[in-house]
Homo-oligomer: A and B are copies of this chain.
Amino acid sequence: MKLKAAVVGLGYWGPNLARNLAGSGDFALAALCDLDAARLERVGAHYPAAERFTDLDAMLARIKPDLVCIATPVASHHALAAKALQGGAHVFVEKPMTMTGAQSRELLALAERLGRKVFVDHTFLFTGAVAELNKQVTGGNIGELLYIDSVRINLGLFQPDVDVVWDLAPHDLSILHHVVGVAPHSVRAMGSCHSPSGQADVAYLHLDYPGGVSAHLHLSWLSPVKVRRMIFAGTKQSIIYDDLEAAEKVKIYDHGVDFDVKDLEERRRVLVSYRKGDMRAPNVPATEALAVELQNVAAVLRGQANARASGVDGAAVVRVLEAAQRSLAQGGALVPVESA
């Protein structure tokens, strides 16, 4: 039997959720919810089977959905998700999951108490490219992970209420969280603001992980060209993931550096040898990430799979954003990331 799903918030992303739920074999799109009646009308016209609501409580009471997908501005995530959980539904929340780590913690505790599940929409994890990247890194092919560099820059779009870190970094942080598997212990964030809004439009994040791995993010709304490129450098292989490449998004370089310490007394005498090998770009499936993600959500709700992006993961990303925000305000000071 299909699970009953509702979408709350029909701005930029909500219609994609509605389309994927309506086309899914797992879910029935039972309800649409938005404060803006005109928008509700316009989107709703494509889904005659879904009831329309401007009030969340009314929707929950009448539909009793299995899953509520929340695609509203981030400031409202916590309150709406809490309401949905209390109404008996599982929730699927847009990223970033909440405004603060404290909100995330509360939400997870509430869900725990009510026996409901929280999912976070870390869509990128469900692309063929990131799945391949993750397989290579966690499967050990690249050897020991040395460092990660990410560039996510373009011209605009300036947001009225968030800075470039809250706008762009959740993508990178969700990928890093998934692939590295542990949270960074500290962050430095350096940014600058060139508009009268007071919000940073260029920022650099430097994350230090346990075990000496570091990751570095370049985020910008002021670049003349669009770049989406991550480097994962390892001892045996290195990977470049370029999301703007049409056909070869993931390139695996069979290159490496070997160090041979000849004389332990004198650490300076290190023999370095380079290995330049083949490059390989595995074919990655081009299925829509959101469809794959909703399959995972359904499988979890049916007890058939583990969540690839649970509320715990969403909370981990929020804690890094929070630390970055604090570091940014302090001009790049080292800020520890709170633990779960």
Q: Bound state CA distance, A270 and B193, in angstroms?
A: 13
- Does A29 sit at the interface, judged by CB under 8 A? no
Asked whether A155 and B255 contact (CB < 8 A) given A223-B238, A278-B280, A334-B332, the answer is yes
Q: Closest Cβ of chain B: how far from A243's Cβ, in Å? A: 12
Please choose the segment from A107-115, A212-220, A316-324 that sits at the chain B interface, where 4 or more of its residues have CB less than 8 A away. Answer: A212-220
How many Å from the CB of A119 to the closest CB on chain B? Answer: 31
Interface band, chain A: 35 or more
Contact with B along A171-215 (1 / 0, CB 8 A): 000000000000000001010101111100010101000001010
Instruction: Select which of B146, B157, B279, B334 is within 8 A of A194 by beta carbon.
Output: B146
Q: State the oligomeric state as a number of copies.
A: 4
Q: Which 7 residue pairs of A and B lie closest in terms of their CB atoms, listed nearest first? A: A224-B253, A224-B238, A279-B281, A158-B272, A222-B233, A196-B261, A195-B259
**A202: contacting residue among B147, B259, B276, CB under 8 A:** B147
Q: A192: which B residues are within 8 A, CB to CB?
A: 146-147, 212, 214
Whether B155 contacts A257 by the Cβ 8 Å rule is yes
In the assembled complex, how far is the CB of residue A141 from the closest CB belonging to chain B, in whole angstroms?
Answer: 13
The residue in chain B whose Cβ has the minimal distance to the Cβ of A285 is B276
